[in-house]
Each structure stands twice: as structure tokens, then as C-alpha cells.
Amino acid sequence: MDATTSAIVWTKQRPQPSWLVRLFDWKPFLIFACMLPAIGLLMVFLTYPLGLGIWLAFTDATIGRDGKWIGLENFIWLAEDPIFWSSVFYSVFYTAVATVGKFGLGLWLALLLNNHIPFKSLLRAIVLLPWIVPTVLSAIAFWWIYDAQFSVISWFVVDVLGLRDRYFDFLGSAWPARWSLIAANIWRGIPFVAITLLAGLQTISPSLYEAALLDGSTGWQRFRYITFPLLLPILAIVMTFSIIFTFTDFQLVYAITRGGPVNSTHLMATLAFQRGIPGGQLAEGAAIAVAMIPFLVFATLFSYFALARRKWQQGESND
Amino acid sequence: MAYLITRRDGLKLTAASAATLALVEEARAQQIPTQPAEPPRLPIESGASLRVIRPARFVEPDETFFRANAEKFSRQFNVPVRVDFVGWEDIRPQTAVLANTGTGPDVVIGWSDDPHIYADRLLDMSDVAEYLGKKYGGWQFLAEKYGKRHGTNNWIGIPLGGSTGPIVYRISAVKEAGFDKIPDSHEDFLRLCQRLKEIGKPAGFALGNAVGDGNGTANWLTWSHNSFLTDEQGRVAINQPATIQALEYLQKLYPTFVPGTLSWLDPTNNRAYAAQECWLTPNGVSLYFALKNDPNTRHIAEDSDHANMPRGLAPDAPQTATIINAMVFRSARFPNAAKAFIQFMMEAEQYNPWLTACLGYWSHPLKAYDNSAVWDSDPKIAVYRRGLDYRYWSGYKGPITAATGTAASEYVLVQMYASVAGGQATPQQAVAEAERRARRIFR
């Protein structure tokens, strides 16, 4: 009996926890420990490949041979290489024109879809199709559309309408090929822009439009003074993404022209791949890829600072 | 596409057509003439197993019969063999990983130049090659060229087969143009193409960034004018008067082509020929069989024939072959088993049925297989019989190196011709640009 009723002896202090427990109770360490998996993932899958790519750009590595450090030699060669400069030109041109096209048409489409129309959800789903289809598939479709012998456009214009007597040669010379690829890229990029802008449009409070209507505003004024400014932050983000996607586009060009005719449609990304993997000049390919980084950083900074620096976005009032 | 061959797996010949099977039976029964030869001693390591990679198949029997032969090897020698069929552009990166890390497949069946890129890291194959050569009447020219290390008698690769792209043409169109065969001289060939254009049945040669067909066009133009990319020592030699002549010839020839050849990729000429938009084009035998096996296009196949590329000024047919070349790295765990496997696959009991089942898609490297039943199965594929007997190779006249492969996959010559055909450059400018790029690659 005694044994079961013996009083529990309370000590005045709780026992000192072990060093391990104390370590994990220490907030800075805990934060660090919780972030380790994420840091590990980033290091392995992001920092290491990026670092390796940059390192390769300063070596003379080829497929099957480890490179030696050769400093800026790759870049000096590229600076004198007209094919590289033509790819820089076309990358910038392609990105600029395609982005303007995508945003013009995408915004227009978003405004149309924002209206009350029958079968609204179905239409929105259909609009997303070009974005959902794998790029290589749509590229192959465009390859057929632009084919020198079997183009449906040529067939329609020549054989059905009889407006021309020769088939179009879409991809046979430099500028038609360039514009054809830009058209394909715009077609593919519109849904992304349209749907994200549509989401942005729906966050704009209808009461603003009602107030504007009471003030007797025109449709253009409502767009210019309500829709556009309120859409601008989203526009900036979408624009940044779109520029990055377009500038680093690869599949469309590689599947349709492989950079031809005579290298006139090489983007920096396709040229980097072409030189690096099929050509085996790993280091030179890496150098071209590294040369893309400044353009991307500039594009990101530009759209962020030029379009998105509104005070209210940083929590202050807009003046 | 991994497929583990165990002894329990039976022959799987599901979709190979009955006609092919009958032909293969004939090949099996057939005697390939051999000379007595002593096979090298290759005691197979105990516990050996092999992993083999090779390029994806051309036609289905290529894969079925290759697997069946591999399975036969594993049954006979009690060595499990796993064969992976790899996409054509993936072979090179996988080989590079193997070369750098020493782990991966034991036998690599890669492309023409690949053994020459890794020459220092490969097992010497001379014993196998010499035995096979002695037994089967010797190796054909291109097989020796691609199998032996440059300037030596040491074999670093065993070529299994090669594919070539001679001219495919419509018999009726060439007749209508006033010729009864493909002429060999430049002038006559130009006249033929001009006539074909006039009668609305134009020729077409790929000038786009097409690895196979584009380089075929460029090599033909270069070699048929007795020009060459590099000299015997491997120095860039493209900037020479003969190249200018080739470019000037193309300036006359290009307008006779069907429109759009500057954007042609590898499959384009097949499509154009099948659609009767193009009536003469260089291609592998695949086009002919695709047409022959489809009832809708059989009449095109019946009106088609093959011919070597016009010689022009060259002493031999100015074309080469793409070869599948087997190699074993020094790091291989079971070198004897790997060599025995390659040797086994080349022996008549295995090789002849496989070669026959491939219907001419692969041309053989060993001369004795000239007698294979496949070459008599269809008189129109006769030109593929000596597919590895051409006298030109990638990067002719220099040694085969990594750079020759790079020059081809960078389209240095293709783009030289295309820029002149498209009018973007004069012949002189185009040659200078090609020389500039080639110097970088061959430095």
C-alpha cells in the first residue's frame, strides 16, 4: 500500500534538457535546418548546373573531352562570328515582335472574354488549347502549314481561290521564314496572355465602372483610366514571363527550321544547342547560353522597373 | 525501349511480314561462302552479362531479328544480354557519359565517327576484325576506313552495316526527259534536270539543315568536282578553285529544283516524292519500300529505280555511307564477352538473316555477304549491295576525327551551298565563310 501512495517528489526546476533539444529549440538553428532541404534542392538542380554552364563557357570542352580553362577565347570567337550576331539580332527581334503581337491580341481577347457571352466557360477552355498542346506538336502542325509543297495556305490561295500561280515559299528565304516563326509563336503565346489578363480583369471592381458610367465616360476612357492602370501590375508580371519564355524559345524554331535557311532563323537558344550537342562543341554552346543571361536580366529589370514601380504596390498610397 | 532477354523468351516475330519471313528462311538456308579462319580465343568471363545500346530501328525486322540474334547469343553462352534501342541523337551523349565515367553499356553500337572520337579509350578489336575479314572475304573500303584507327592497322570499331543515299528517280519522267539512265557527267545531269523542270516533273536535292540528306547533297557537289574539305593531313582545304566550280554548278542546277529545297529537312524529300511533286531525289532505300508497301503508292514504286550519284569529274561515285559502328570501352567489365558478342552477331548464321530482314536498309561491310539472298530479292535495290564500297568518307581526304563529325552536324558545307543557291552570298564569299568556320572546328 505504501508503495503505491508514496508522494511524487516535485523538484523545483525542470531538468536541464539535453544539448540536442536545446539546439533545436534555438530559433536561428531551427530556421536554418528547415531550410536545408530547399537549399539542397536549389544547389543540386539550379546552382550547380548554372555554375557548370558558366564554367564550361570559359573552357574548350567538347563532347567526350573535359575542357581546359581558356578564358574569354569562346567569347572572342563569338564576337567575330556573324552567325552568332545574326542569332542575337533575331532573338531580340523575335522576342520584341512576338511580345507586342501576343500582348495586343491577348489583351483584346481577354477584354472580349470578359464580356457576358453565351458558353463563356467553354470558350475560355477552347482559347487555352494552343497553350495546352505540347509545343512540339504545334510546331509540327506549323511545319506542315509552312511546307513548301503541302501548305494548306498555299493550297487555299493557289488551288481554291486562284489568287497566285505559285505556292508560297514560307521557309525558303530569310525574312519570310523569320516572320512565319513569329506568327507561330504569337499563335502559341496568346492564350497564356489572354487567360492571365482575364484573371486580372476580373479582380477590377465593377463599382469603378459604374461610377465612371455615371460620370459619362466613354468606353475608351474607361479602358484608359480604369482597366489599364489597374491591370498594369499583372501586365508587368505576365510581360516578364512572356519575354523570358519567348527569348528562350527553342522547340518551335528547332522543329520547324532547325535554324535554317542558312542560319537566318537561329535563336540564341537553338544556336547554343546546335553548337553544343549535335556539333559537339560543348564549351561554345555554353558560351552562347551564358551570353543570353544579360539579355534576360535586362528584360526582367526593365519590365519590373518600368511597369511595376507603383508606390501602392509597396504598401504606400499612390499619388 | 529496354528489353531484357532471358532464355525463356521465345522468338518474337510478330509483325514481320510473311514475305520477309520467307526471304529470311531462304537466307537461313543459304550458304555464305567462307574461308577457313581461326577464331580468336575469347574465354567468356564467369558471371558475365552484357548491356548493348544501338540506334533505333529503321524497319521493324531490324529490331526483331537483332533481338533474336542477341537472345541466341545469351542462350548459347549463358550470358544475359540486354539490348536498348536508343534514339538516333541520344547515342552520342550516352557514349560521352560512358567514356567519361566508365559506367554504362558494355557494347556501344554508335555512328560512323564515334570510335575515332574515343580511340584512346577503346579496346583493340583487331583480333575479331581480322578473323571476320579472313573468313568472309575481306572488309569493304568504308568498313576498313571507319573501323581502323587512322594511319594504323588497328581496329577500334566493327562496322555492322551502313546506309547510303543514292538517287531515287521515276523511270517514266527520266525517259520523258530524253534519258534512259542517270547520266554521269555534270553537263548531262544538268540537262536532265532542266528537261525535268520543263516537263513539270522537277528534281529536288535537300539544302536545308538536314543531317543526312543535306550533307549528302553537299558532299556530292564537293566530291564530284574533285574538291575536299580537308587534305590528307587533316588541314582545312575547302578554299580551292574546285569548290568554286561546284558552287557555280549549283547556281545553274538549283533553279531546276522543285521550289523550297532550301528549307527541306530529312523527311521532306520523301514526302514530296511520294506526293509526286518531286521526281528525282537522293535518298535511302526506305522511300522505295514505303511506297512499295502502300497499295496507294505502289505504282510510284513500280515506276521508280535507283542509281549512283552522278560522278562528274570524280573517279568513283561521289558519295559515302552512314555506318553503325560497334565498340567496346576499356572500362568494360566483361571485355571478352563483349567482343564475342560482336563477333557472334557478324557470323553468317546470325548476320545473314538480320541483313535479309532489313531488306537493304543496311548494306553489309563484309564482302562475302554480296551473295546474300536479300540483294537478289528485288533488282531495284542492286545499287545498295555495294553500299560500303564507296571511296569517300566524312571529312574526305583527312583522317576521321571528332571534328569531321562536327563539321557535318554544323552543316558547314550544306550552308555554304545553300547560301549561294539562295543568292545570299557569292561563291567566293561562301567559300571564305566555310573555311573560317572549318578552321575553328579543325583547329
What string of DSSP letters covers B401-422?
-HHHHHHHHTTHHHHHHHHHHT
Nearest alpha-carbon partner for B144 in B164, B129, B128: B129
Residue range B90-122, pLDDT digits in tens: 888 788 888 878 888 999 999 888 899 888 889
Is some CB atom of chain B closer than 8 A to the CB atom of A176?
A: no
**Could you tell me the three cell numbers for B32?**
555464305
- B441 backbone dihedrals φ, ψ, rounded to 5°: -70, -35
CA distance B372 to B387: 14
Mutate to test the interface with A, among B94, B209, B329, B404 (most CBs of A within 10 A): B209
The mean per-residue pLDDT over the stretch B199-203 comes to 95
Q: Of the candidates B95, B208, B272, which has its C-beta nearest A261's C-beta?
A: B208
Residue B421 has pLDDT above 90, yes or no: yes
Taking the Cβ of residue B17 and every Cβ of chain A, the question of whether any pair is shorter than 8 Å is answered with no
Q: Identify the DSSP state of B118.
A: T
A263 touches B: beta carbon within 8 Å: yes
| Biggest alpha carbon–alpha carbon distance for chain B | 69
Question: In this model, does residue A309 exceed pLDDT 60?
Answer: no
Report CB contact under 8 Å: A262, B118: no
Residue B20 has pLDDT above 80, yes or no: no
The answer to whether residue B259 neighbours chain A at the CB level (below 8 Å) is yes
* pLDDT band at A161; cut points 50, 70, 90: confident
Q: Is the pLDDT of residue A9 over 80?
A: no
ipTM of this complex > 0.90?
no
Q: What is d(CA B159, CA B148) in angstroms, rounded to the nearest whole number?
A: 10
- A205-228 confidence digits (pLDDT tens): 889 999 999 998 888 999 888 888
pLDDT at B6 over 50: no
**What residues of B are in contact with residue A262 (Cβ under 8 Å)?**
262, 415, 418-419, 422, 424
pLDDT for A127 equals 85
Q: What is the pLDDT of residues B239-276, one digit of tens each?
A: 999 999 999 999 999 999 998 899 898 888 988 999 99
Q: What is the rounded CA–CA span in Å between residue A234 and residue A237? A: 5
Mean pLDDT, residues B299-327 = 94
pLDDT at B3 over 50: no
Query: Pick from A170, A262, A274: which is nearest to B418 by CB?
Result: A262
- The whole-number average pLDDT for the span B396-419 is 90
Region A134-144: mean pLDDT is 88
Confidence of residue B13 (pLDDT cuts 50, 70, 90): very low
Maximum pairwise Cα distance, chain A = 114
Predicted pLDDT of residue A108: 92
Q: Which three cell numbers stand for residue A141?
A: 502542325
The shortest CB-CB distance from A280 to any of B99, B207, B405 is to B405
pLDDT in tens, A58-96: 998 887 677 889 889 999 999 989 899 999 999 999 999
Binned at pLDDT 50, 70 and 90, residue A7 comes out as: low
Grid cell, residue B164, equals 547510303
Q: With contact defined as beta carbons under 8 Å apart, do A139 and A185 qualify?
A: no
Strand segments, DSSP code E, in B59-204 are 81-86, 107-111, 158-164, 167-170
Strand spans (E) along B7-68: 50-55
Confidence label for A3 from pLDDT (cuts 50, 70 and 90): low
**B370-391 pLDDT, tens per residue?**
999 889 888 999 999 989 999 9
Radius of gyration of chain B (CA): 22
Task: Scan residues 91-120 of B and list those with Cβ closer than 8 Å to A.
Answer: 92-93, 95-96, 99-100, 117-118
Q: What pLDDT does residue B15 have?
A: 40
Least confidently predicted of B31-40, B178-187, B361-370: B31-40
pLDDT at position B248: 96
Per-residue confidence (pLDDT) for residue B12, from 0 to 100: 39
pLDDT tens digits, residue range A167-206?
888 888 889 999 999 999 999 999 999 989 999 998 888 8
* pLDDT score, position A164: 84
Interchain proximity A261–B263, CB inside 8 Å: yes
The answer to whether A159 contacts chain B (CB < 8 Å) is no
In the predicted model, what is the mean pLDDT of residues B339-356? 94
Contact (CB, 8 A) for B391 and B140: no
* pLDDT of B89 strictly over 80: no
B264 touches chain A (CB under 8 A): yes
Of the pLDDT bands very low, low, confident and very high (cuts 50, 70, 90), residue B434 is very high
Taking a contact as any Cβ pair under 8 Å apart, which residues of chain A between 36 and 95 contact chain B?
A: 62-66, 77, 82
Pick the range with the lowest mean pLDDT from A122-131, B105-114, B389-398: A122-131
What integer pLDDT is reported at residue B31 of this predicted model?
78
**pLDDT confidence of residue B83:** 95
Say which residues have a Cβ less than 8 Å from residue A148's Cβ, sequence separation at least 6. Answer: A167, A169, A170, A171, A172, B258, B259, B260, B261, B263, B264, B268, B272
Q: Which of B263, B271, B415 to mutate to test the interface with A (most CBs of A within 10 A)?
A: B263
B42: closest CA of chain A, how far (Å)? 29
Q: How confident is the model at residue B2 (pLDDT cuts 50, 70, 90)?
A: very low
Buried residues in A137-173 as b, exposed as e (16+ CB within 10 A): ebbebbbebbbbbbbeebeebbeeeeeeeebbbbbbb
Nearest to A130 by CA among A102, A88, A170, A169: A102
Ordered DSSP codes for B357-404: HTTTSSB-SBGGGGG-GGGGS-GGGGGGTTTT--S--TTTTS---HHH
What does the pLDDT read at residue A313?
Answer: 52
Percent with pLDDT over 70 in chain B: 95
Q: Find the residue in B nearest to A64 (Cα).
A: B96
Residue of B nearest to A149 (CA): B272
Nearest Cβ partner of B275 from A63, A149, A261?
A149
- Asked whether A257 and A30 are in contact (CB, 8 A), the reply is no
What pLDDT shows up at residue A6? 62
Q: What integer pLDDT is reported at residue B402 of this predicted model? A: 83
Task: Provide the 3-class DSSP secondary structure of residue A221.
Answer: helix
High-pLDDT (> 90) share of chain B, % = 68
pLDDT at B19 (0 to 100): 67
CB atoms B263 and A64 under 8 Å = no
Q: How many CB pairs under 8 A join A and B?
A: 109
Residues 6 or more apart whose Cβ sits within 8 Å of residue B348:
B32, B34, B136, B368, B369
CB contact under 8 A, A172 and B422: yes
pLDDT, position B7: 38
Question: Which of B264, B410, B424 comes nearest A279 by C-beta?
Answer: B410
Q: What is the mean pLDDT of chain A?
A: 86
Q: What is the pLDDT of residues B130-152, one digit of tens each?
A: 999 999 999 999 999 999 998 89
CB spacing of A64 vs B100 below 8 angstroms: yes
Query: Per the CB < 8 Å rule, is A262 touching B415?
Result: yes
Is residue B217 within a helix (H) or strand (E), and if so which, with residue range? Answer: helix B213-224
B3 versus A243: which is more confidently predicted?
Answer: A243
Residues of A in contact with B202 (CB under 8 A): none
* pLDDT at res. B21: 74
pLDDT mean over B340-369? 93
Q: Are A103 and A236 in contact (CB under 8 A)?
A: no
The average pLDDT across B404-413 equals 89
Report the pLDDT value the prediction gives residue A308, as an integer from 0 to 100: 59
In whole angstroms, what is the distance from residue A308 CA to residue A305 CA? 6
Binary contact (A149, B118; C-beta < 8 A): no
